[in-house]
Amino acid sequence: HVDILVDLTGHTANNRLQVFARKPAPVQVAYLGYPNTRGFTAMDYWLSDAHADPPGQTERFYVEKIVRLPHGFNCYRPPADSPDVGDLPARATGHITFASFNNAAKVNARVIALWARILNALPEARLIMKARQLADSAAKANFHRLFEQHGVTPERVEMISWVPSSTAHLELYNRIDIGLDCFPYNGHTTTCEALWMGVPVITLAGLTHAGRVGVSLLSQVGLGELIADTPEVYAELAVALARDLVRLETLRHGLRDRVTQSPLTDASIITRSFEAAYRQMWRRWCAKAPHA
């Protein structure tokens, strides 16, 4: 007998939403995996936090009742074999290297236009994109074409599709000075990885959960100053940070400790938040359930 059943896939491949639709458990909860409503009333709750789903802002997007966890809805466990954080790459290369390791489907025309604006303000800067879709030569050519429409030549945008291991993947962050988040669909694991590897990330706060995950993650580690509320501020933050190597070095060498000491990697704090939320859900159901 299951009392509380939690869905982690939503409307993604190989999901089990037809099971949830039959209401096999008295309390059903949507969490993680898919940053949106499941869209049917058999799902009772959506687990989030006040940064990703600000009270009064996102309720209209959900069938579920939003339950906001007090210390953030994210919990990141860094790989045990993570590489050490390297020195600031810009000191060796002589230029700033921006990057996005997000799924290429998140990199839309507005994102490219804004990234190009940043690169045009910093003529020596480079951008690295890493995504599995970039194994396709046509996809790479299309991205280069879109950047060229904004005056950014192909040699300034490096595209990587695959590396042989998770350690090699994390090691790539030692080539990066600043991460650039996508919008309106933010990065998630990639932002956690970047912060863990000493790379600050600039994010643009959106109107929905998918567009506010960056806000949640940066707030968890105390980097609210890297959250922009407009595209103009996003570009200004990126350019200002790129021009302040001392600040970048301070962030780089302090971020791993900051992440380690934050709720983002404290599984015990997040676990207690989950337990309290589940207990409240169950008590609410028991109060409504007919007594035998």
Q: What is the CATH number of the domain that holds 100?
A: 3.40.50.2000
Q: Are residues 22 and 106 in the same domain?
A: no
Q: What is the pLDDT of residues 229-263, one digit of tens each?
A: 999 999 999 999 999 999 999 999 999 999 999 99
Q: Could you give the count of Cα atoms lying within 13 Å of 45 in the half-sphere of its Cβ?
A: 24
83, part of any domain: no
Mean per-residue pLDDT, 159-164: 95
Residue 291 has pLDDT above 60, yes or no: no
Looking at residue 267, what is its pLDDT? 96
Mean per-residue pLDDT, 38-59: 98
Instruction: Tell me the sheet residues that pair with 65.
Output: 45
84, part of any domain: no
Confidence of residue 289 (pLDDT cuts 50, 70, 90): confident
Q: Are residues 115 and 58 in the same domain?
A: no
First to last CA, the chain: 17
80, part of any domain: no
Looking at residue 261, what is its pLDDT? 97
13, part of any domain: yes
Enclosing domain of residue 18: 4-75+266-288
Q: What is the pLDDT of residues 255-285, one digit of tens each?
A: 999 999 999 999 999 999 999 999 999 999 9
Q: What angle do CA 237, 240, 243 make, to 5 degrees?
A: 145
Domain count, the chain: 2
Q: Are residues 70 and 99 in the same domain?
A: no
Q: Are residues 238 and 280 in the same domain?
A: no
What average pLDDT does the structure give for the chain?
97
Q: Are residues 183 and 123 in the same domain?
A: yes
3-state secondary structure of 227: strand
Q: Are residues 124 and 237 in the same domain?
A: yes
Q: Are residues 24 and 139 in the same domain?
A: no
Residue 48 has pLDDT above 50, yes or no: yes
Q: What is the pLDDT of residues 49-85, one digit of tens each?
A: 999 999 999 999 999 999 999 999 999 999 999 999 9
Residues counted in the chain: 292
Residue 292 has pLDDT above 60, yes or no: no
Tokens found for residue 92: 């060796």
Residue 210 has pLDDT above 90, yes or no: yes
Confidence of residue 200 (pLDDT cuts 50, 70, 90): very high
Q: Are residues 282 and 174 in the same domain?
A: no
Q: What is the CATH number of the domain that holds 45?
A: 3.40.50.11380
Regarding pTM above 0.75, the answer is yes
